[in-house]
């Protein structure tokens, strides 16, 4: 038999608790979530299961926690938390592991915490018995509010044996040096740490990160779904229908943004929020002078 991975047989991984990390591989980033404990102290909990909940519209986030964690208890009481994304630093990993050990009170955790807790710069978010402090070391922070209404409306979230914290992101804070990359002009990425989860009942795995590099989006030609995706993230107030986007295929990738922005500007100038097929046909006629 050859040694190549492709020729190796698949075997079934038996079911265990914490299945996603004990029965399978899930490499992911993690956030250190700060919340306020009942006695008014900021608590820090590491969370891997932390993902965007909506893609285009709605700046929301999902954190999945065991339902008895300090974080879940605090968020359900205060409705507020901050997700602190930190860079890889080998010296901090041991503390992160300890912070992830269940059953500790906030006071016990804060006695060995190595992270510098500071006030949020966001007006109205000064630390209190609701608003937590944030981590000075974070390269990025999401300041969030629990969407308790949507959770209560949704039995899958409301009645789950895990805590599904559906969070609306109120503020995204980014350290100055990383803002360059957000608009695409920078050449350096934060060294985002990876966790590979809990293995064999005794060890947590973390990855040493390599410098990130950038690749251009492949030019596969602009089909209507791509146009729809690009068009609907340009402006919250102007949305394109799929039928409208079918009129806009074949535009070279290099010009899509410019063309779509032109249509958004036209729509706004005419007080139109919904760009449909008829509107595109009308614009084409005007452009062609018919
Ligand atoms: C890197 C890392 C990632 C973790 N991710 C999660 C997670 O996504 N969900 C969860 O319930 N527990 C997770 N844990 C375990 C929690 O951190 C643990 O339950 C801890 O007690 C939470 O702290 P808290 O009770 O102060 O909120 C993780 C632990 C580590 C070290």
Written as tens digits, the pLDDT of the chain (290 aa) is 567 899 999 999 998 888 888 889 999 999 999 999 999 999 999 999 999 999 877 899 999 999 999 999 999 999 999 999 999 999 999 999 999 999 999 999 999 999 999 999 999 999 999 999 999 999 999 999 999 999 999 999 999 999 999 999 999 999 999 998 887 788 889 999 999 888 887 899 998 888 888 888 777 767 899 899 999 999 999 999 999 999 998 888 888 889 999 999 999 999 999 999 999 999 989 988 76
In this structure, the residue with its CA closest to atom 4 of ligand 1 is: 47
Specify whether the backbone of 20 is left (phi greater than 0), alpha (psi in -120 to 50) or beta: alpha
- Closest-CA residue, ligand 1 atom 16, reads 100
Nearest of 67, 66, 113 to residue 92 by alpha carbon? 113
How far apart are alpha carbons 206 and 208 in whole angstroms? 7
Contact 20, 13 (CB under 8 A): no
Q: Residue 175: is it exposed, middle or buried by C-beta count within 10 angstroms (0-12/13-18/19+)?
A: middle
Determine the pLDDT at residue 2.
61
How far does residue 138's CA lie from ligand 1's centre (Å)? 18
| Residue whose CA is at the smallest distance from ligand 1 atom 29 | 100
Q: From CA 278, how far away is CA 227, in angstroms rounded?
A: 17
CA of 155 to the centre of ligand 1 (A): 24
Tell me the pairing of strands 274-275 and 239-240.
parallel
Cα of 266 to ligand 1 centre, how many Å?
49
Compute the distance between CA of residue 268 and CA of residue 195 in angstroms, rounded to an integer: 45
**Nearest CA, atom 20, ligand 1:** 100
Write the pLDDT tens digit of every residue in 183-194: 778 888 999 999
For 4-56, what is the HEC assignment?
CHHHCCCCCCCCCCCHHHHCCCCCECCEEEEEECCCCCEEEEEECCEEECCCC
* Residue from 21, 27, 66, 81 to probe ligand 1 pocket by mutation (most atoms less than 8 Å from CB): 66
Contact (Cβ atoms closer than 8 angstroms) between residue 79 and residue 67 = no
Which ligand 1 atom minimizes the distance to the CA of 195? 1
Chain centroid to CA 237:
22
Q: List, for residues 205-255, the tens digit of each pLDDT value.
A: 998 888 888 888 777 767 899 899 999 999 999 999 999 999 998 888 888
The pLDDT score that the predictor gives to residue 87 is 96
Report d(CA 248, CA 259) in Å as an integer.
9
| pLDDT at position 57 | 75
Closest CA to 167 of 26, 40, 65, 27: 65
| Cβ < 6 A, ligand 1 pocket | 30, 43, 45-49, 64-66, 69-71, 96-97, 100, 102, 195, 204
Distance between Cα 32 and ligand 1 center (Å):
9
Q: Cβ contacts of residue 220 below 8 Å, gap of 6+? A: 226
Structure tokens at 216: 């251009």
CA 66 to centroid of ligand 1, rounded, Å: 8
């Amino acid at each position: 038999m050859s040694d190549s991975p492709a020729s190796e047989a698949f075997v079934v991984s038996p079911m265990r608790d914490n299945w996603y990390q004990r029965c399978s591989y899930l490499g992911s980033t993690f956030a250190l979530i700060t919340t306020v404990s009942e006695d008014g102290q900021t608590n820090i909990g590491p969370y891997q299961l932390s993902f965007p909940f909506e893609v285009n519209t709605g700046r929301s986030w999902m954190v999945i926690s065991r339902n008895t964690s300090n974080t879940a208890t605090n968020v359900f009481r205060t409705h507020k938390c901050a997700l602190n994304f930190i860079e890889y630093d080998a010296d901090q990993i041991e503390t992160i592991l300890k912070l992830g050990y269940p059953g500790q009170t906030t006071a016990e955790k804060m006695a060995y915490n190595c992270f510098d807790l500071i006030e949020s710069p966001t007006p109205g978010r000064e630390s209190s018995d609701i608003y937590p402090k944030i981590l000075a070391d974070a390269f990025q922070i999401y300041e969030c509010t629990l969407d308790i209404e949507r959770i209560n409306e949704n039995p899958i979230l409301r009645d789950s044996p895990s805590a599904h914290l559906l969070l609306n992101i109120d503020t995204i804070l980014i350290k100055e040096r990383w803002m360059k990359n957000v608009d695409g002009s920078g050449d350096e990425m934060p060294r985002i740490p990876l966790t590979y989860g809990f293995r064999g009942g005794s060890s947590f795995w973390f990855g040493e990160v390599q410098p990130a590099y950038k690749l251009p989006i492949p030019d596969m030609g602009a089909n209507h779904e791509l146009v729809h995706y690009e068009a609907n993230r340009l402006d919250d107030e102007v949305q394109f229908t799929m039928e409208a986007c079918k009129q806009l295929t074949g535009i070279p990738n290099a010009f899509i943004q410019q063309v779509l922005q032109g249509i958004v500007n036209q729509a706004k100038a005419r007080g139109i929020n919904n760009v449909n097929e008829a509107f595109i046909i009308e614009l084409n006629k005007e452009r062609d002078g018919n």
